[in-house]
Amino acid sequence: MLSFAGCPSAVVLGQRLDTLAKELGFVWTAREVSSPEEGELLGFAGSPTLLIDGIDPFTDPSGNAGWACRLYATPEGASGCPAIDQLRDALTSPHGGRE
């Protein structure tokens, strides 16, 4: 997970990843991105960004990304991180949740 300092959505995403790590048996790491330039090198698409094997399963097809808080489309509406079922699908799908 990539995020910038103080991102409240990163805390929520981290909690969801902890839950799924226990359920699915994986290890995840967090990295604080300190500048837009570093973010560009890492594939940062807003805070927080989840990369699975270096791929963002929630890529915005419009290309809207950058040094900002990120919004995800969830069944409940826009949110600062994906719903736990969306994360589970992304983590267990052979395509990382992408078609």
53-97 pLDDT, tens digit per residue, is 999 999 876 665 678 999 999 999 999 999 999 999 999 987 655
pTM higher than 0.85: yes
pLDDT tens-digit map of 5-19: 999 999 999 999 999
- For 50, the token pair is 């989840």
Instruction: Determine the longest span between alpha carbons in the chain, in angstroms.
Output: 35
Query: How many Å is the Cα radius of gyration of the chain?
Result: 13
- Which SS3 state, helix, strand or coil, does residue 55 take? strand
Backbone angles phi, psi at 45, to 5 degrees: -120, 35
Which pLDDT score, from 0 to 100, does residue 31 have? 96
- Which SS3 state, helix, strand or coil, does residue 27 take? coil
